[in-house]
Every structure is written in C-alpha cells, then in structure tokens.
Structure 1
Amino acid sequence: MKVFRTLSAAAIVAGMTLAAPAAWAQSKTIYIGMNGGPMEKAYTSQVLPAFEKANNVQVTVVPGTSSDILAKLLANRAHPQVHVAFLDDGVMARAVSLGVCEKLEDSPVLKELYPFARMKDDVGAGVQLGMTGIAYNKKLFAEKGWASPTSWLDFADPKYKGKVVFQSASSSTFGLHGLLALNRIWGGSEQNVEPAFTKWPSTVGPNVVEYIPNSAKISEMVQTGEAALFPLTPTGVADLQDKGLPVAYVNPKEGPVLLLVDVCVVKNNPDDQLAQKLAQFLLSAPAQEKAAEAGKQIPTNRLAKMPASMQQSLGNIDDLVHKVTVVDWNAINAHRAQWDTRWNQQIER
C-alpha cells in the first residue's frame, strides 16, 4: 500500500502547476482538499487507505480551511490542483454558485444519504453531519452549582456574565450559527437579522468575556476557567474531551443548527472518473463508519453505524436530525458581507 502525503499549497503550486493534466492521470495520484488536524488524521489513517489499495492510487491531502480550499479552486479554475474537496456547507454554497463543482454521478449511495445531505441537482453531498449546539465547562458549572444549559437563550442569562465565549460571527460558522439561532428565537430569519443585532448588546453581549475568531482558543480558556459557555459541535466537544478537558455538549431545546461538511468533485479536474469514484466511496456506509471510529465524524449515510460511545453520547441520530435547524445559505451568502461589517462595527467594536 502506498503512503499518504500531506502537501502545502506552496509545494503543490511549485511542483505541479507546470505539469500537464495527462501526467497527473498517469501517476495515479489524486488530491483531496480538507480541513487539517483531527479530520485529516482520521481520514488519512483509517478511511482513505482502503480506497488507495482498491484502486492502486496514491492519495495526497491538501489541508486548509474551507475558505482556503475554495480560494485555491477559484485561482486554478482551468487546471485545478485538487480533484475532490471537502467544504463546510456555507462555503460549498458559494463554490456551487461560482461554478467550481460538477454534478455527482448517479449512484445507489446517494439514496442512502439523509435527504438534507443531498444538494440540489446532486452537485455535492454531505459527507459529515454536524450540528452547532451548546458546549459548557462541567467543572466550572459544578463549582458554581449551575444546572446544565438547555436553551440558546442561556447565552443571555445574566448569571453567566463574563463567562460566555463566542466565536466571531464574521469569521466562524459556529458564531454565525449562534447568532442566527438566537435571531430566530427573537422573531427573525435569514432574510431579517434585525432582531439579533438589536437585542444582542443588552442580552448576550454583557455576558461575553471574549469574541474569538475561531475555536482554537477554547481549550485554553476552559483550562483557565474563563470559558463557561460557548457554541460548538459534538465532534468539537469530543476533541476537547480527548484532551482531558471537562466539557460537555447539549442540544438546545429549540434545536441545534445543522452543519454539514460537503464533498464536491471539482470541475475540470484531471481524472474525473477517479474523482467521482472517490466521492462515492467517501459517501458510502463503510467509509463513514471508519470516519466515525477514527475521528468521531457523524455519518450522513443512514446505513452507517457509529461506535457505541458515540451512540450513547448523541442518542438516536434519526430522531436528532428531525430536530435540527436548517439555515438558508443562499440567503446568508447574499447578505454576509453586510452582516460581517455590522457585526464588526456594532458587536465586536
């Protein structure tokens, strides 16, 4: 079996931009863009080797955030350096609107997915199910004698003053999800965020000790006791628990917000047949079971089984998916720039 390699964007640009697409196909190397860290480790160690062995192909991971990967796809439209890409659902909506993804080939595996995981016209599909809910510091809650949180409105409870950590809605999907969840409770929608921006300064705002650009700092802030309450996913909480941190996840009674990681076959990629085959493999139950075992990735394939520990923590996934809030990414992306400016000027000023 061949060995996976991870390359930086700079290395790929330096070594591959001059190579003809035919040379890529002949080398039987396929490039996949995805988040680095735990996701990359899970896929390269447990999921992708089966595809590599079965197809006599080398898989090279190009790590980066969804925004980074989309930027690479746009910069190399004519001769893309990535065959298949993992993108967060909000970024995937932008990628599709910009025409960098092609339709997935019809396959029985598509019918095994939860309906919301199939994008319109099958131009992409959810490969990992996530949901943004409430995470909290169990140690701090026990010390304070606080009951576990139950609602998105807990972020506005005065008893948490100075103990809420919120990701920036202008740079983090988790922060944006939290903003939109509260906005809905206050009577708004993706077409009308006025309730959230109007109410935030007198409700959640006074409780926030710090707005952070992403979730990387949460680990440190839990250890120092600064963070009591923050938006996060079950997978994100599991990663913190693996580090020995006293955190727990709660699905708010109003419902968590759906967060999908989607897979996209890149248009004009140099080996479309192999790229389509890889996408179908990643959406299959066996591949998603491996991802669940190795990285606590929640399957989007209804036939995939999760480890007992995940089932115990998350409960019945079929029941849970009926409670998630699905946001309108087309509406969000149409107004995102204005929201980001308003957030930065009014909330994080």
Structure 2
Amino acid sequence: MRIPLKAGLAAAALLGATTVLAQPGLAQNTLTVGGYGGSFETLMKEHIIPPFEQANDVTVQFVPGNSTENLARLQAQRDNQEIDVVILDDGPMYQAVALGFCDTLTDIPSLPDIYDIARMGTDKAIGVGFVATGFAYNAEMFEKEGWDPPSSWMDLADPKFEQLTSVPPISNTYGLHTLVMMARLHGGGENDIEPGFEAMVEKVAPNVLVFEPSSGKMSELFQAQEIALSIWGSGRVKALADTGFPAEFAYPKEGAIALMVAACPVVDSDVPAAAQAFVDYLLQPEVQVRLAETNGFGPTNKNTVLPEELQTLPYGPDKISQLVAVDWNAINPKREEWTQRWAREVER
C-alpha cells in the first residue's frame, strides 16, 4: 500500500508546515536513509526530512557518508540491510543496481515528469539532481586577456592555457569524465579508452598545473589566480561564484557530462512503501528547488521552477539537452585498472 504524499507539496511543507493525515499502518515505523554528509545532511535533517515525517507518521534516520562509504555499507549488510533508501553518485549507483541492492521503482507517480536522461536506463534507480561536468573559468581573467569563454573539451589542449589549467585526477568523477570525453573525441570511448589516455598524456597534461582532487584547493587555485580554467561541476562553480569570485560555468559544445545524484529503494526493506514514497518525495518540485538552493543540484523534474539566480544550474530543456551520459556499466569494471594507468602515465 502506497503512502500518499500530498500532490504538489506547498512550499510551506518544506518548512515543516504540512498537516496530512497519516496512513494508520505507518505509525512507529522507521525509515533509514543513507546519503551525503556536510551541507546535504544539514538540508535533509532540517528541511527535507521533517515534513515527510509529519505527513507520513514515520521516523526517518539519516546515515551520512560519501557514495563509496554508503555503497560499502550496502555490501557489508547484504543479508540484513539497515538502509531503506540510498542516495549515491550515479557511478556507484549503477554498481548498486548491478549488485542487486536496489528494488524496483513500483510506486513513483512523479516518473512521467522526469527527464529521460535521469531515468538512467533502469527501473531500479532515479536521478534526483543534476550536476554538469564542464568548464569552470575565471571570467575576469578571460576578459582581461581577451579570451573567448571555453567552448570545446579540446580547449584543454590550447597552448595559451599552459600551466593555467587544473583537471581533477581520475579518482574524482570529473577527471574520469575528462578521460572519457578525450577518448570519444579521438575515435574511442568507454570501450576503447586508449585514445583518451593518448590525448591526456600528449595534449592535456602539458597544460595542467596540478591534478587537484580537493574542491577547497581548487577554489584556492582560482582565487590566487594560479589557474584560469578547470574541469569542474556546475554546483562547485555556483558555490565559488556565491563567494563573490568571478567564476562562471561553460557547457562544451560536444556536451557537458551529466553527473547525477541518484536514489533507490533498497531491497528487503521492512518499510518498502515508505521507501518508495521517500524516493518520490525527493522528486517533488518544491524539494528539487531546495536541493538546487543549498547544494547546486539541477532539477530532474521538468515541472520544477527555479528562481532566476539559480538558472545557471543544469535547468530546463535547452541545458538538459546539452548533457551527455557516460556508460557506467562499461566503466565500473575497468576503473581500478584505469586509475593505476593514470598514475603511471598522466600524472607522472
């Protein structure tokens, strides 16, 4: 039996003002949600979870951790799952699906309103937020130098950016995306990565000042004007721009890569109806606005309306059409091998 959520939750619901009669069978139930820590955990505990609990007479426990940690929890608890809903980056989520941890999405009324790319080619998980992997650049420095905004992934190889760029390492999804796009642009792809490594070693690496994994250090590099250009996520660029720094995000003409935040109901949950309802709740437009405001996630629900100041995020049909997906089912089995090779050849 599905837990009814009030259609089109009012914005006030996110502030804890919802008063919906609960299903009698849900009293005293506990739903455990695994997701990111930091600002995401704060948002969930202060604004997202309370109205859901009130509307559905269910207690929600939040387990913080990055995607690797929460995927490891699912593996460790395979025969006795404690997590009912898990929120992961799309790469680890495809692993969770392949390993049989995600239940089928059976009661998600919002599904018809979700962009196709966020459906992830599966009925086991769904994207609840978009981050675009593309260019971060110092708009003030570009204007001063008379440079046009970056427009192609191959701008990473432009000699004028020698020692003025940063690319995260392959252990970071942004670096992995860069490798895949270099492979695609040179005749290869996820199933033929050789051209990608050749392009990284010969064309991109000479321009890279540092392969920086830390978002905090990346921000410092920009603020110290040690770099003018990097591959980064749209949400990270928004956070840097919110500090007053002239950071802007650019979509490469070949496409920015969709890095999705995804959710799935976990198999063998003892509150399966609540798990399905919570996933649907994360797709509600009002919740999607909150995710955009606080974490820079572009909405996957087409009916979400963002205020003008947030429309630099992946938002609306035009920008979503500029997003491309990578084949995580091809990448995941090879990622460890690629990581070792990257250390030997790209960052040597």
TM more than 0.5: yes
Change beyond 3 A, Cα 1:127–1:314:
closer
Matches within 5 A, 1:72-221: 72-169=73-170, 171-221=171-221
Q: 1:29, CA displacement in angstroms?
A: 3.1
Matched, 1:36 2:34: no
Counterpart for residue 249 of structure 1? 249
- SS of the aligned residue for 1:212 comes to coil
- The answer (yes or no) to whether the contact 2:157–2:203 under 8 Å persists in 1 is yes
Structure-1 separation of matches of 2:93 and 2:42: 22
Equivalent position amino acid for 1:166 in 2: V
Matched, 1:289 2:255: no
- The answer (yes or no) to whether the contact 1:79–1:269 under 8 Å persists in 2 is no
Q: 1:285, CA displacement in angstroms?
A: 2.4
Structure-2 separation of matches of 1:193 and 1:184: 8
Structure-1 separation of matches of 2:331 and 2:214: 19
Change beyond 3 A, Cα 1:92–1:315:
closer
Q: 1:109, CA displacement in angstroms?
A: 1.1
Structure-2 separation of matches of 1:140 and 1:39: 32
Counterpart for residue 329 of structure 1? 328
Equivalent position amino acid for 2:276 in 1: Q
TM score, norm. by length of structure 2: 0.87
Equivalent position amino acid for 1:112 in 2: D
Q: 1:199, CA displacement in angstroms?
A: 2.3
Counterpart for residue 66 of structure 1? 67
Counterpart for residue 270 of structure 1? 270
Structure-2 separation of matches of 1:272 and 1:303: 26
Structure-2 separation of matches of 1:56 and 1:139: 51
- SS of the aligned residue for 1:86 comes to strand
Equivalent position amino acid for 1:138 in 2: A
Equivalent position amino acid for 1:85 in 2: V
Q: 1:307, CA displacement in angstroms?
A: 1.7
Structure-1 separation of matches of 2:269 and 2:208: 45
- The answer (yes or no) to whether the contact 2:107–2:277 under 8 Å persists in 1 is no
Counterpart for residue 259 of structure 1? 259
Q: 1:190, CA displacement in angstroms?
A: 0.9
- The answer (yes or no) to whether the contact 1:43–1:291 under 8 Å persists in 2 is no
Structure-1 separation of matches of 2:218 and 2:122: 38
Change beyond 3 A, Cα 1:128–1:316:
closer
Equivalent position amino acid for 2:68 in 1: S
Q: 1:191, CA displacement in angstroms?
A: 0.7
CA RMSD, 1 decimal = 2.2
- The answer (yes or no) to whether the contact 2:296–2:313 under 8 Å persists in 1 is no
Q: 1:248, CA displacement in angstroms?
A: 0.7
- The answer (yes or no) to whether the contact 1:46–1:294 under 8 Å persists in 2 is no
**Structure 2 stretches of 5 or more lacking a match?**
1-12, 17-25
- Over the matched positions of the two proteins, sequence identity in percent amounts to 38
- SS of the aligned residue for 2:323 comes to coil
- The answer (yes or no) to whether the contact 1:219–1:245 under 8 Å persists in 2 is no
Counterpart for residue 345 of structure 1? 344
- The answer (yes or no) to whether the contact 1:164–1:228 under 8 Å persists in 2 is yes
Structure-1 separation of matches of 2:214 and 2:191: 25
- The answer (yes or no) to whether the contact 2:182–2:200 under 8 Å persists in 1 is no
Change beyond 3 A, Cα 1:245–1:172:
same
Matched, 1:304 2:291: no
- The answer (yes or no) to whether the contact 1:34–1:69 under 8 Å persists in 2 is yes
Counterpart for residue 54 of structure 1? 55
Counterpart for residue 8 of structure 1? none
Q: 1:202, CA displacement in angstroms?
A: 2.1
1:258-310 CA deviation, whole Å, 9 max, x = no partner? 11111011112232221111111112223213323443321111111112212
- The answer (yes or no) to whether the contact 1:163–1:229 under 8 Å persists in 2 is yes
- The answer (yes or no) to whether the contact 1:87–1:262 under 8 Å persists in 2 is yes
Q: 1:221, CA displacement in angstroms?
A: 1.3
Equivalent position amino acid for 1:206 in 2: P
State the number of aligned residues. 326
- The answer (yes or no) to whether the contact 2:108–2:276 under 8 Å persists in 1 is no
Equivalent position amino acid for 1:57 in 2: V
Structure-1 separation of matches of 2:256 and 2:115: 17
Counterpart for residue 232 of structure 1? 232
- The answer (yes or no) to whether the contact 1:149–1:250 under 8 Å persists in 2 is yes
Structure-2 separation of matches of 1:291 and 1:153: 32
Structure-1 separation of matches of 2:60 and 2:185: 45
1:20-54 CA deviation, whole Å, 9 max, x = no partner? xxxxx875332212222333333333333321221
